[in-house]
Amino acid sequence: MIRFANASVTYPGGVAALKDLTLEIPDGQMVVVVGLSGAGKSTLIRAVNGLVPPTSGDVVIDGVSVRKASPHQLRVLRSRIGMIFQTFNLVNRTTVLNNVLMGRLHNTGTFRSLIGWYKPADVEIAMRALERVDIVEKAYVRASNLSGGQQQRVGIARALAQNPKILLADEPVASLDPPTSHVVMRDLQRINRELGITTIVNLHFLDLAKVYGERIIGLRGGELVYDGTGAQADENVFRDIYGRSLTADDLMGEESTAAAADVAL
Amino acid sequence: MSVAAHQTTPRPAKPRPSPVLPIALVAVVAVTWAATSEQFGIGLDIGSIISDITRGAGILGELLRPKWDFLPQTVEPMLETFRMAVLASAIGCTIALPVAFLASRVTAPNFATYLADRSILNLVRAIPDFLYALFFVAAVGIGPLAGIAALILFNIGVVAKLQSETVDGIDPGPLEAARAAGGNRLQTVRWAALPQVLPNYVAYSLYTFELNIRASTVLGIVGAGGIGRLLLREYKFFNWSNVSVIVVELFVFVFVIELVSITLRRRLV
- CA-based nearest distance B181→chain A, Å: 5
Asked if the model's pLDDT at residue B1 lies above 50, the reply is no
Q: Please name the residue of chain B whose CA is at the shortest distance from the CA of residue A164.
A: B181
Rg (CA), chain A: 18
Q: Please name the residue of chain A whose CA is at the shortest distance from the CA of residue B186.
A: A110
For residue range B30-88, what is the model confidence (pLDDT) as tens digits? 998 888 887 777 777 777 777 777 777 778 888 888 888 888 888 898 888 889 999 99
Question: Which pLDDT belongs to residue A263?
Answer: 43
CB distance A162–B178 less than 8 Å?
no
pTM, to two decimals: 0.83
Q: Please name the residue of chain A whose CA is at the shortest distance from the CA of residue B178.
A: A102
Average pLDDT over residues A91-96: 95
Question: Which pLDDT belongs to residue B225?
Answer: 77
B60 inside domain? no
Give residues with Cβ within 8 angstroms of B27, minimum separation 6.
Answer: none
B41 inside domain? no
Name the CA dihedral angle for A189, A191, A197, A201, rounded to a multiple of 10 degrees: -40
B184 inside domain? yes
Give yes or no for A98 touching B (CB within 8 A). yes
Asked if the model's pLDDT at residue A170 lies above 80, the reply is yes
Measured CA to CA, the distance from residue B92 to residue A253 in angstroms comes to 58
CB distance A83–B181 less than 8 Å?
yes
For residue range B165-221, what is the model confidence (pLDDT) as tens digits? 999 999 999 999 999 999 999 999 999 999 999 989 998 998 899 899 888 778 888
The region that residue B173 occupies, defined by phi over 0 for left and psi between -120 and 50 for alpha, beta otherwise, is: alpha
Mean pLDDT value across chain B: 88
Contact A185, A156 (CB under 8 A): no
What is the DSSP track for B156-179?
HHHHHHHHHHHHHTS-SHHHHHHH
A77-91, A126-140, A227-241, B138-152, range with the lowest pLDDT: A227-241
- CA-based nearest distance B90→chain A, Å: 18
Asked if the model's pLDDT at residue A257 lies above 80, the reply is no
Rg (CA), chain B: 26
Question: Which pLDDT belongs to residue B5?
Answer: 60
Q: How confident is the model at residue B107 (pLDDT cuts 50, 70, 90)?
A: very high
CB distance A89–B195 less than 8 Å?
no
B48 inside domain? no
For the domain that residue B95 is a member of, what is the CATH number?
1.10.3720.10
ipTM score assigned to the predicted complex: 0.89
- CA-based nearest distance B180→chain A, Å: 6
Give yes or no for A158 touching B (CB within 8 A). yes
Question: Which pLDDT belongs to residue B110?
Answer: 93
- CA-based nearest distance A105→chain B, Å: 5
Q: How confident is the model at residue B4 (pLDDT cuts 50, 70, 90)?
A: low
Give residues with Cβ within 8 angstroms of B222, minimum separation 6.
Answer: B130, B133, B134, B137
Contact A230, A215 (CB under 8 A): yes
Measured CA to CA, the distance from residue B128 to residue B118 in angstroms comes to 17
* Domain boundaries, position B219: 69-268
Give yes or no for B113 touching A (CB within 8 A). no
Residues 155-214 of B with CB under 8 A from A: 171, 173-174, 176-184, 186-187, 190-192, 195-196, 198-199
Contacts of B199 in chain A (CB under 8 A): 93
Question: Which pLDDT belongs to residue A262?
Answer: 46
CB distance B187–A49 less than 8 Å?
no
Give yes or no for B19 touching A (CB within 8 A). no
Measured CA to CA, the distance from residue B124 to residue B129 in angstroms comes to 10
CB distance B190–A76 less than 8 Å?
no
Strand duo A2-10 + A81-84: pairing: unpaired
Q: Is A191 exposed, middle or buried (0-12, 13-18, 19+ CB in 10 A)?
A: buried
Query: Which residue among B173, B180, B184 places its CB closest to the CB of A87?
Result: B173
B212 inside domain? yes
B16 inside domain? no
Give yes or no for A121 touching B (CB within 8 A). no
Percentage of the residues of chain B whose pLDDT score is greater than 90? 43
Measured CA to CA, the distance from residue A221 to residue A74 in angstroms comes to 28
Mean pLDDT value across chain A: 91
Asked if the model's pLDDT at residue A259 lies above 70, the reply is no
DSSP state at residue A251? S
B238 inside domain? yes
Q: Is A109 exposed, middle or buried (0-12, 13-18, 19+ CB in 10 A)?
A: exposed
User: Burial code of A144-157, b = ≥16 C-beta within 10 A, e = fewer?
Assistant: eebeebbbbbbbbb
Strand duo A215-220 + A223-229: pairing: antiparallel
| Total of domains in chain B | 1
Contacts of B195 in chain A (CB under 8 A): 91, 93-94, 98
Q: How confident is the model at residue B264 (pLDDT cuts 50, 70, 90)?
A: confident
Three-state secondary-structure class, residue B77:
helix
Measured CA to CA, the distance from residue B88 to residue B129 in angstroms comes to 12
CB distance B181–A49 less than 8 Å?
no
